[in-house]
Amino acid sequence: MGQFAAIFRIETRGRGLYEFTDRVASELRPQKLETGLATLFCRHTSASLLIQENAAFEVRTDLEGFFDRIAPEAEGLYAHDEEGPDDMPAHIRAALTNVSLSIPIIGGKLALGVWQGVYLFEHRRAPHVREIALHVLGA
């Protein structure tokens, strides 16, 4: 049984979903693992991780619209607003999603479904550089 760990960065252009499935796969390839488990961890409190549809762009648009409705930006709505009106809604959105994901590795590849992709869900309006920790355990 072997282990591998890495930290990589994802640059965002502001709020939205950023697929990085290929990045995870490229980190796995040199490890030559046949079976195992990949764990991803987002090192931020105003961004999160999702496994989501990667074929229909409308899914991402609808998800963003849904989160706009359940965690809106509104002056005076939140006590925590030191970093701007999008700060607390970003924390709420991250709390409702995931900051870590576990994905099986089978046959040397991520065992994702046909239409599944791995996404960073940026909840802030401004561009950010986000760090993702990857830990792989396998053989």
Domain with residue 17: its CATH number is: 2.60.120.460
Per-residue pLDDT of the chain (139 residues; tens, 9 = 90+): 899 999 999 999 999 999 999 999 999 999 999 999 999 999 999 999 999 999 999 999 999 999 999 999 998 999 998 899 999 999 999 999 999 999 999 999 999 999 999 999 999 999 999 999 999 999 9
Q: Is 113 a domain residue?
A: yes
What pLDDT is attached to residue 81?
Answer: 87
Six-digit token pair at 108? Answer: 């040397």
Q: Is 15 a domain residue?
A: yes
Whole-angstrom distance, CA of residue 63 vs CA of residue 60: 5
Whole-angstrom distance, CA of residue 139 vs CA of residue 108: 9
Q: Is 96 a domain residue?
A: yes
Of 115, 10, 114, 14, whose CA–CA distance to 58 is shortest? 115
What pLDDT is attached to residue 1?
Answer: 85
Six-digit token pair at 44? Answer: 């931020």
Q: Is 44 a domain residue?
A: yes
Q: Is 76 a domain residue?
A: no
Q: Please state the domain count of the chain.
A: 1
Contact 28, 136 (CB under 8 A): yes
10-39 b/e (C-beta count within 10 Å ≥ 16 → b): bebeebbbbebbebbeebbeebebeebebe
Helix (H) or strand (E) holding 95: helix 87-96
Q: Is 87 a domain residue?
A: yes
What pLDDT is attached to residue 16?
Answer: 97
What pLDDT is attached to residue 6?
Answer: 97
Q: Is 101 a domain residue?
A: yes
| Structural domain containing residue 55 | 2-71+81-138
Whole-angstrom distance, CA of residue 52 vs CA of residue 8: 20
